[in-house]
Amino acid sequence: MKNVELTRQQHLDLYYYMRLNRAVEDTMVKLFRQNKIVGGLYSSLGQEAISVGTAFALEKKDWLAPMIRNIGALLVKGVPPRDIFTQHMAKYTSPTLGKDGTSHFGDLEKLHIVSPISMLGDLIPVMAGVAMAGRYLGQKIVAMTWIGDGGSSTGVFHEGLNFAATQKAPFVLILENNGWAYSTPVRRQVPLENLADRAKAYGITSYIVDGNDVADVYSTAKEAVDRARAGEGPILIEAKTFRRLGHAQHDPAEYVPKEMREYWEKRDPILLHEKFLTEKKLLDAKTKKEIETKIEALLSKDRDFAENSPMPPPELAEKGVYCTGDDCHKIRAKWERPVAEVTPPRSSIEASWVVEGFGRGKGSGGGTAPIHFGDTPATEERKENEDKLAPATPIETVSEKVGKPAAKVSKNGARGGRSAEKRAGKDAGATNRKAVAKVAAKDVRKGRR
Amino acid sequence: MADSSKTGAGNGNGGGPVTFLEAIKQAMFEEMQRDPAVVLMGEDVGVYGGAFKTSEGLLEKFGWERVIDTPISESAIIGAACGMSYLGLRPICEMQFIDFIVCAFNQITNFVAKGHYLWNAPAPIVIRGPSGGGVHGGPFHSANPEMYFVHTPGLKVIYPSTPYDAKGLLKAAVRDNNPVLFFEHKYLYRRIKEELPAEDYTVPIGKAAVRREGKHLTILSYAAMMHNSLEAAEALAKEGIEIEVIDLRTLLPLDEETILKSVKKTNRVLVVHEDTKTGGIAGEIAAILCEKAFGDLDGPVFRVTALDTPVPYSPPLEEHFLPNTQKIVAAAKELAKY
């Protein structure tokens, strides 16, 4: 059961954006093979449901920051395909005028998009800051970004998520677990069954979703966005999926077991959604054709635009290191709460969020102190820890909801693991075997229940 | 209500001369008072008022939303400040000791510094903190890491030497649309005092100041070494060597004009800094002089700097490591012979 009911139009919109996402990337593969893409080309083939489904849960005023495999999120937010083509082709007409490529561009004014950098995890504190500023200004926005299974091991992932959690920032982090950090399988990166478990360390809510089921991704993201907006603090969503191509175009990804790939090809998110829509009679041949025609026309126009665009003039390289002032950018905060609330003498220790007992209580012994945490009885602490050790946690309940595909992934991974062993040596195989043993044991337990 | 003597409210109004530290506090207080978009973030900046008490009284005055105690997470502080700036805020980030700024190196050099050039996203943030040695802080509480950042296009780097400049430059930094690194030499915090104007003022970023006029040679310096340089100039004046002392104040962008003008007059240049020698600003200045003022030079560009080692802890070791007035005097005498 989905938590959020989707309308037919929403279902069709999700379908349209996934098709558009794939078509944009297919077009770029063609451009790449014609040597028209200047640098590398990354693919989100098979992961479109995550980019599209999560970004679709945001409102226009909300902020997002894409990673390299989130072209779909950019399209949903309103970025025209031509911006993506010109970026990759390093054209003067690109959003960065040719100064950077791929999804590395943003728009502070209209679309509220923050550009990523190649170092993973850095967007997390940045988007936490966006969320905090939005709250401070009274804008009631949510900030969202994505991170991979690989990026979740960076130090700044921890710093950013922890800070966001202490601030209860309205921030949603999508952890796309596609199984591979370049050539390293997730089992060799993180000793966890579910990466969503990382949320426990920050005391924040998490979800696990089938990343190839766009409706499930959307309804989970919608719930998370609503909760974050309501002031519940940051939320982590682990979306389980698979990276169908290599790290980038240059990488044939021979380290990936064939069976694993085949399994996920059958679970293509667009095919799955199309099947669902057809069964529910939400999509007929005519509508499908209309969508395809619309995409074709748009991409053909935008591709022509990009191909016919000039390269930047060389001297542009010298320009833009500094903002020169008001003539360059008028930096003004958009207040949506009375400024007097944060201006002396009205400003006070009251804040729009409070840590219980912080800045309110008396000091020990009855003296006045600006801060008092209160006494935490040791017994309560212990009890809480015991509760945490108890087997049934909300996270596991959610994971059971999508437990099947997750388990299947690992099983296939294991079968593939043996073939991978022949190619890549026994290490990968050994890791996959361990993973399988774990999953198998879990399945048995489930069966017994 | 916080009392004004504690917070620096009303700045120098009849309050007599103020310390370097007080000047910084006044700058933050007045900027936060002037513009609600200015917020302060850092470790222990709120309840505790900062490790050196530079933000004492700000929490009481401006509240929790504007004076934010953070976890010990330098990357998160800078990252969050960057995100805040995208919505029009102007965060000031305190590094408890500037040594810890390197924990946020990637965030500063790759995210904050490159945003405007790459995707037209200015990040008006100030990163400030206590730097420098001479107080026996040891290898991790005495650093002068300014040159890591002078090497990064997109940043501005300020290192003042007087209370007047500290206040005026910090205010200018808050109002600047670019990320500005603001180094506060902790040796100066409570050792020097200056009467400050009652009215609001700023000191322009990127402009050096001539602290003493002279005709025989030019000393270029900044921060705590500025004062040693002036002391050396005073001593040598008694021996008939008239030294022009220039306070660089801003290291990036560097005020080449003032430097070149002085060299034209004195024809000899000694650069003095507390930072280590290799890769210090003195090397860069020497290269600029070779390119642009070779004909004006009567002798080589001399350097008096710290040794190329970490900052040692034990007083005799640190004393040996650091430049001082005697070393400056010796080098200046040598240079004056050309």
Average pLDDT over residues A134-146: 97
Average pLDDT over residues B245-250: 98
- The catalytic residues of B are 141
Report the alpha-carbon distance of residue A172 to residue A234 in Å, rounded. 6
Q: Structural domain of residue B69, as residue ranges?
A: 7-194
Nearest to B41 by CA among A62, A102, A132: A132
Residue-level pLDDT at B73: 98
Q: Tell which B residues from 167 to 186 touch A, by Cβ distance under 8 Å.
A: 177-178
- Segment A266-311, tens digit of pLDDT: 999 999 999 999 999 999 999 999 999 999 999 999 999 999 999 9
Residue B111 sits in the same domain as residue B241: no
CA distance, residue B336 to nearest chain A CA (Å): 39
At A369, the pLDDT band (50, 70, 90 cuts) reads very low
Q: Does residue B69 sit within a domain?
A: yes
Give just the sign of the alpha carbon dihedral A426, A432, A435, A440.
negative
Q: Per the structure, how many domains does chain B have? A: 2
Summary mean pLDDT of chain B: 95
Report the alpha-carbon distance of residue B171 to residue A11 in Å, rounded. 53
Q: Does residue B72 sit within a domain?
A: yes
CA distance, residue A323 to nearest chain B CA (Å): 6
Question: What DSSP string runs through A7-37?
Answer: PHHHHHHHHHHHHHHHHHHHHHHHHHHTT--
CATH of the domain at B271: 3.40.50.920
Residue B22 sits in the same domain as residue B72: yes
Summary mean pLDDT of chain A: 83
CB spacing of B116 vs A133 below 8 angstroms? no
B3 shares contact with chain A (CB less than 8 Å): no
Q: Does residue B204 sit within a domain?
A: no
CB spacing of A163 vs B114 below 8 angstroms? no
Residue B158 sits in the same domain as residue B227: no
At A344, the pLDDT band (50, 70, 90 cuts) reads confident
Q: Does residue B103 sit within a domain?
A: yes
Residue B276 sits in the same domain as residue B250: yes
Predicted TM-score of the model (pTM): 0.87
Q: Does residue B263 sit within a domain?
A: yes
Rg (CA), chain B: 20
The percentage of residues in chain A with a pLDDT greater than 90, rounded to a whole number, is 74
CB distance B175 to B39 below 8 Å: no
A321 shares contact with chain B (CB less than 8 Å): yes
Report the alpha-carbon distance of residue A228 to residue A244 in Å, rounded. 31
Per DSSP, A383 falls in state: H
Question: For A431, how many CA atoms within 13 A lie in the half-sphere containing its CB?
Answer: 19
Q: Is residue B253 reached through a cis peptide bond, with omega within 30 degrees of 0 on the bond before it?
A: yes
Residue-level pLDDT at A350: 53
Residue-level pLDDT at A5: 84
Give the ipTM of the model, two decimals please: 0.95
What are the distances in angstroms from CA A219 to CA A208, A395, B132, B244? 12, 17, 54, 70
Helices (H) and strands (E) in chain A, counts: 14, 7
Residue B159 sits in the same domain as residue B38: yes
Q: In a 3-state reduction of DSSP, which class is residue B185?
A: strand
Closest Cβ opposite residue B71 in set A63, A155, A163: A163
Give just the sign of the alpha carbon dihedral B119, B122, B127, B131.
positive
CATH of the domain at B99: 3.40.50.970
Residue B56 sits in the same domain as residue B169: yes
Using an 8 Å CB-CB cutoff, list chain A residues near B153: 321
Residue B93 sits in the same domain as residue B52: yes
CB distance A373 to A408 below 8 Å: no
A320 shares contact with chain B (CB less than 8 Å): yes
Report the alpha-carbon distance of residue A295 to residue A23 in Å, rounded. 8
Closest Cβ opposite residue A342 in set B66, B71, B121: B66
Closest Cβ opposite residue B79 in set A160, A351, A370: A160
Average pLDDT over residues A101-124: 97
Q: Does residue B200 sit within a domain?
A: no
Residue B165 sits in the same domain as residue B29: yes
Q: Does residue B1 sit within a domain?
A: no
Residue-level pLDDT at A356: 55
At B14, the pLDDT band (50, 70, 90 cuts) reads low
Average pLDDT over residues B169-175: 98
Q: Does residue B93 sit within a domain?
A: yes
